Amino acid sequence: MDINDEIQKSIDILNKGGLLLYPTDTVWGIGCDATNEEAVKKVYKLKRREDSKALICLVSDTRMLQRYVYDVPEVAYDIIEYSTRPTTIIYDKPINMAKNLIAKDDTVGIRVASDEFCQKLIRKFKRPLVSTSANLSGTPTPKSFREIGSEILKGVDYVVNLQLEKSNSQPSSIIKISNDAVVKIIRK
């Protein structure tokens, strides 16, 4: 398994509007190009998830974050830098993303990926990735690759061949930061 080969295969799928099953800094995720509305629709359909329920995106670093959020509150940089576990932040006024990825209240959840594979993939792809747990809506989040259901495995266009056991097999914390710097914990 060569990480660079897996990155190139993943980018080929993403550029075609396809879906990936890939290891993230939290759990195994279903992903696609976060700027492609048709690809985002496929994620909702595969998960059997209402499109009114928002999906999370991953970016490679804070420079990329700034290209997809109109105004990143200063406190967000501290949270990103000092969080001891993966933390998704819900931001007001996302920009340059698929419209069906943006919640009805004009927000989007974005996490700066800490996983080496994700960072390299996103950097090379040059766009954020959707990242949602690899399960059908309403079913438990798989704690390992072995727990991912056959419907998910068959429903994606490519399974990244880095079947690592995740050391952090739990979803990220979720924090909402409004543009007036009010911080609200959504999920610990």
In this prediction, residue 149 carries a pLDDT of 94
Residue 47 has pLDDT above 90, yes or no: yes
- Count Cα atoms within 13 angstroms, Cβ side, for 149: 13
| Segment 139-164 mean pLDDT | 89
Q: What is the CATH number of the domain that holds 140?
A: 3.90.870.10
Q: How confident is the model at residue 26 (pLDDT cuts 50, 70, 90)?
A: confident
Looking at per-residue pLDDT, the higher value among 143 and 181 belongs to 143
Question: How many domains does one find in the chain?
Answer: 1
pLDDT in tens, 61-91: 999 999 999 999 999 999 999 988 889 999 9
Residue 136 has pLDDT above 50, yes or no: yes
Rounded to the nearest angstrom, the gap between the alpha carbon of residue 83 and the centroid of all alpha carbons in its chain is 17
Q: How confident is the model at residue 164 (pLDDT cuts 50, 70, 90)?
A: low
Looking at per-residue pLDDT, the higher value among 96 and 171 belongs to 96
Residue 112 has pLDDT above 50, yes or no: yes
Rounded mean pLDDT of the chain? 90
> What global pTM score does this model have?
0.89
Give all strands (DSSP E) within 44-85, no chain letters.
56-59
Nearest C-alpha neighbor of 57 from the set 89, 12, 27: 89
The boundaries of the domain holding residue 170 are 3-187
3-state secondary structure of 52: coil
- Count Cα atoms within 13 angstroms, Cβ side, for 25: 24
In this prediction, residue 163 carries a pLDDT of 62
